Structure 1
Amino acid sequence: MTSDEHVVLVDRDGRALGTAPKTSVHGRETPLHLAFSSYVFDSDGRVLLTRRADHKLTWPSVWTNSCCGHPLPGEALDRAVVRRLSYELGLAVESVDLMLPSFAYRAVMANGIVEHELCPVYRVTVDAPVTPNPDEVGETLWMPWKEFAEGAQNGLLAISPWCREQVPLLTELGADPLSWQPAGADALPPAARP
């Protein structure tokens, strides 16, 4: 991340309100802003989990879904997913599928720092090795989706708060993550539509 990277601020209806420096929006009064989460799967339906780097401002050292991030102002969300997967995990992906177009959450860390995001969720399939960027990722782990989903929903796995909220919604799409039916881009919030 460059020091001048901006995020898109949004209202409750998902309309863009402007931008703000990324460094200024993660604190005790975090405004709602546009983000994304992605879940990377291999051809066996295993999901790639990542442990956030120890020095991350929000939820350091916590296990979570494959990759999260923020689109740059004017950047399509699917392109942001591709960009961040390359940067954080060294993955070259061709396409991403929109799964949960209107997911949003607010979570507060023990130290009072707040995450407040309108955060559409994407599925990505890969057939390539992962090369984690230590600036972003402390560790990676491939896990069968069924095992991960059950552990996440039963509280047996310590995972990020957004991931804990996303997993039940994803399981509603079906038992096999490779057969989930994508949503159309027209279902995205206005600020995220191409």
Structure 2
Amino acid sequence: MSGAGCIEPPLIAVSANDEPLGPIGKAECHGGEGMLHRAFSLFLFNRQGQVLLQQRSALKPLWPGYWANSCCSHPRWGETLAQAVIRRVREELGVVPTSPLTWHFSFIYHARYLDVGSEHELCHVFSALLDGPDLMVDPSEISAYRWVDRHALDALLRDEPDLYSPWLKIEWPQLRERL
């Protein structure tokens, strides 16, 4: 979790082929039109087949209050994708996935949020099972969460697309085809 006076570890600037170009600051990644950097999205499912959605905290500079997938973030310089996913799930949700991570696909996207900044990411999409303990969410990251049936999420994205993050609207249809 970052706060005033904290220096955030650098993220990973990448080429379109996901080759590391060097460490880069988070502000530099997301300022203006953004710089291409490595990211991940995780979709957590329960045994009933529902997917966990989170509502981004109002404190988030990009897409505050929007609904997104279970966990999304960036690996730090020197950190693997798997390490980053597990770290962020612990930090944001207070849990660890029950099953090993399953990688599904990677894609590049660019999305601008008002005049605040942009996401320009090479994003790796994973899923995992989550059983058991109640979530202990970090309120600086997540303001609400809910488990949603797959068909319900299809309908929500179709009927109320403005409530959802741009990456969720790109990822979910592609992930649904693979499930």
What is the TM-score with the length of structure 2 in the denominator? 0.90
Question: 2:15 aligned with 1:11, yes or no?
Answer: yes
For residue 120 of structure 1, give the secondary structure of its aligned residue in structure 2: strand
Distance in 2 between residues matched to 1:80 and 1:139, nearest whole Å: 22
What's the secondary structure of 2:167's corresponding residue?
Answer: helix
After superposition, residues 167-182 of structure 1 pair within 5 angstroms as: 167-173=172-178, 180=179
Q: Distance in 1 between matches of 2:23 and 2:102?
A: 26
1:111 aligns with 2:123: no
Counterpart of 1:119, as a letter, is C
- Supply the RMSD in Å over aligned alpha carbons: 1.4
Give me the whole-angstrom Cα distance separating, in 2, the residues matched to 1:92 and 1:170: 21
Tell me the secondary structure at the aligned position of residue 18 of structure 2.
coil
1:99 aligns with 2:129: no
From the superposition, tell whether residues 51 and 133 of structure 1 become closer, same or farther in structure 2 (CA, over 3 Å): same
Distance 2:154 2:126 in 1: 16
Q: Distance in 1 between matches of 2:59 and 2:153?
A: 25
Tell me, in whole angstroms, the C-alpha distance in 2 between the residues paired with 1:105 and 1:39.
18
Aligned residues, how many?
A: 172
> How many angstroms does 1:112 deviate by?
4.8
Aligned residue in 2 for 1:26? 30
Normalised TM-score (structure 1):
0.84
Q: Deviations over 1:94-152 (max 9, x none)?
A: 5211111x222110112251110000000011112211110110100111112112322
Q: Which residue of 2 aligns with 1:71?
A: 75
Deviation at 1:75, TM superposition (A): 1.2
* 8 A contact 1:25–1:31 mirrored in 2: yes
> Does the CA-based 8 Å contact 2:49-2:149 persist in structure 1?
yes
Say whether the 8 Å CA contact 1:3–1:23 is kept in structure 2. no
Work out whether residues 149 and 171 of structure 1, in 8 Å CA contact, stay in contact via their aligned partners in 2. Answer: no
| From 135, 142, 152, the counterpart of 1:147 | 152
CA distance in 2, matches of 1:52, 1:4: 20
SS of residue in 2 equivalent to 1:35: strand
* Unmatched segments (≥5 aa) in structure 2: none
| Deviation for aligned residue 1:47 | 0.6
